[in-house]
Amino acid sequence: MSNLVLLSENPSFIAVATGVSLLLLFIGFVGFHLLKKVTRLETDIKKIKFDGANALDGLSTLSVNWNEAIKNFEKFERTHNQIIAMVEQVRFEQELLTKTVGSDNKLSKAIEFARAGSSVDDIVKKAGISVDEAKAIARFHGPNDSH
């Protein structure tokens, strides 16, 4: 025990013991602080993993929805092209009918003018047909018609 008393009175020993104690306290404090940070980081990592999984699910859903939108757009485009083709067909048929019906109307008018005794020049001007057509109509449908 006397040695212990001597050590406690020795200033070097007290300084070393105090230094070691402070060092151990510092290491304990730093260790505790690091453990706290590691715990926070683990929590943050779990949140990031969860958020990443949610983001992946969202991107997968978006990808599926995007692919469906592309398919719908392609279907719409095919339908649009079919409608355009049908409209073009209707226009073609309308032009054909207009030419046919318009031609019949011109010829009908020319025949009426010929029966009324109009001259070939008058039939051409009034009905809008060619001179050859007017001559043929006047010949067959004119007032001197023997048919």
Q: pLDDT value at position 122?
A: 93
Whether the pLDDT of residue 95 is over 70: the answer is yes
User: How do residues 99-127 score in pLDDT, each as one tens digit?
Assistant: 666 666 888 888 999 999 999 999 999 98
Residue labelled with tokens 């929805």: 65
CB count within 10 Å of CB 110 equals 25
Work out the pLDDT band at 86, boundaries 50, 70, 90: very high
Question: Can you tell me the distance from the alpha carbon of 122 to that of 131, in angstroms, rounded to the nearest whole number?
Answer: 10
User: How do residues 44-64 score in pLDDT, each as one tens digit?
Assistant: 999 999 998 899 888 888 888
User: How do residues 30-46 score in pLDDT, each as one tens digit?
Assistant: 999 999 999 999 999 99
Give yes or no for a contact between 110 and 123, defined as CB atoms under 8 angstroms apart: yes
Give helix then strand counts, H and E, for the chain: 4, 0
Locate the domains of the chain by residue range.
Answer: 2-141
